[in-house]
């Protein structure tokens, strides 16, 4: 119409809600390209993932939790692999078990009571699923899928099972990726059918959003347990770091003894080496 203001269009259609659609239009193709290059979903079509639920669940989290999810999904976070690359640690070992620690290892680690934390968190998830009237078959499939993935086993559902498509989708996307929020579309569809069959006023859409928030509680619990081991207890990483620090102190001490120190520097060897090596980490570093 003459005199009408300009409007934003996409694929021949008018975009009426810029705040919710423009960002997606601009950034979604670049995001898909990034994940395809990373091959995080093992070649699975990214359209199988319920991105809308992920967005709503993520936006409801505090900012620090959003950063946590994003960093672990990309895989670039404060784990041994990256701490070594950043030259913050002298080794990439997991503080709980001593194996190479990358982002996914945090969820799969079997050391230092991690299994207890996992079972408790998974038990809380099962209780919540029951409280929101989740299809018992979906509850069983989700929990068993996560369990078998963590143990490195295959989770198979008979082809004639009514959840076959959902478990197949999630298996292709990756059960480990589910811990980071990559949920298959089919779960929401199946849960909505269950609600409709039971004449429930609940919706599969809201269920999937809340499910992701509960799943992120599992990954957060494992991360916090890992950090407690790292910062509050003697562990494999601290032993390696302290050994390296003691070697440096020993070499420096021997070098100092070879020097003719003046009175103002005599304090540098007031302590004997054995006494110095018994000092706390804070004192020595």
* 31 band by pLDDT with thresholds 50, 70 and 90: confident
Least confident of 48-57, 74-83, 151-160, 234-243: 234-243
User: How far is the C-alpha of 137 from the C-alpha of 129, rounded, in Å?
Assistant: 11
Residue 238 has pLDDT above 70, yes or no: no
Q: Which has more pLDDT, 126 or 7?
A: 126
Average pLDDT over residues 181-192: 96
Phi-psi region of 42 (alpha: psi -120 to 50; beta: other; left: phi over 0): left
* 207 band by pLDDT with thresholds 50, 70 and 90: very high
Q: Which has more pLDDT, 268 or 166?
A: 166
The predicted pLDDT at position 167 comes to 94
pLDDT tens, 41-66?
777 788 899 999 999 999 999 998 99
Q: What is the DSSP letter of 191?
A: H
The answer to whether 216 touches 178, Cβ cutoff 8 Å, is no
Q: What is the DSSP letter of 133?
A: T
- How large is the greatest C-alpha to C-alpha distance in the chain, in angstroms? 92
The predicted pLDDT at position 268 comes to 65
Average pLDDT over residues 155-159: 84
Q: Which residues contact 240 (CB under 8 A, 6 or more apart)?
A: 90, 91, 93
User: Tokens for 68?
Assistant: 């946590």
The predicted pLDDT at position 36 comes to 84
Dihedral sign, Cα of residue 70, residue 75, residue 80, residue 83? negative
The predicted pLDDT at position 49 comes to 93
Residue 29 has pLDDT above 90, yes or no: no
In the numeric block, the tokens 């990034």 are attached to 34
The predicted pLDDT at position 285 comes to 54
185 closest CA partner among 203, 173, 176: 173
Q: Which has more pLDDT, 240 or 84?
A: 84
Q: Which has more pLDDT, 186 or 41?
A: 186
The half-sphere exposure of 70 on its side-chain side, counting CA atoms within 13 A, is: 11
- Residue-range domain boundaries for the chain: 1-38, 48-233, 243-284
Burial of 112 per CB tally in 10 Å (0-12, 13-18, 19+): buried
């Amino acid at each position: 119409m003459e005199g009408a203001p300009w409007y934003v269009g996409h694929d021949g259609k008018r975009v009426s809600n810029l705040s919710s659609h423009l960002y997606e239009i601009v950034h979604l193709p670049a995001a898909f390209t990034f994940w395809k290059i990373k091959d995080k979903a093992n070649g699975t079509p990214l359209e199988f993932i319920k991105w809308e639920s992920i967005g709503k669940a993520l936006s409801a989290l505090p900012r620090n939790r959003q950063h946590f999810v994003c960093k672990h999904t990309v895989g670039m976070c404060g784990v041994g692999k990256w701490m070594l690359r950043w030259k913050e640690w002298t080794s990439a070992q997991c503080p709980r078990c001593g194996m190479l620690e990358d982002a996914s290892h945090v969820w799969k680690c079997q050391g230092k009571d991690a299994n207890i934390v996992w079972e408790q968190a998974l038990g809380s998830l099962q209780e919540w699923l029951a409280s929101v009237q989740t299809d018992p078959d979906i509850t069983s499939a989700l929990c068993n899928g996560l369990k078998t993935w963590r143990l490195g086993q295959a989770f198979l559902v008979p082809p004639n099972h009514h959840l076959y498509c959902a478990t197949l989708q999630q298996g292709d996307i990756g059960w480990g990726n589910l811990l980071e929020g990559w949920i298959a579309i089919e779960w929401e569809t199946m849960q909505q059918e269950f609600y409709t069959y039971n004449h429930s006023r609940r919706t599969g859409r809201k269920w999937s959003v809340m499910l992701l928030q509960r799943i992120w509680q599992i990954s957060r619990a494992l991360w916090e347990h890992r950090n407690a081991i790292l910062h509050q207890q003697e562990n494999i990483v601290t032993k390696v770091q302290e050994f390296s620090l003691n070697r440096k102190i020993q070499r420096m001490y021997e070098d100092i003894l070879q020097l003719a120190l003046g009175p103002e520097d005599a304090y540098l060897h007031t302590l004997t080496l054995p006494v110095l090596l018994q000092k706390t980490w804070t004192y020595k570093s």
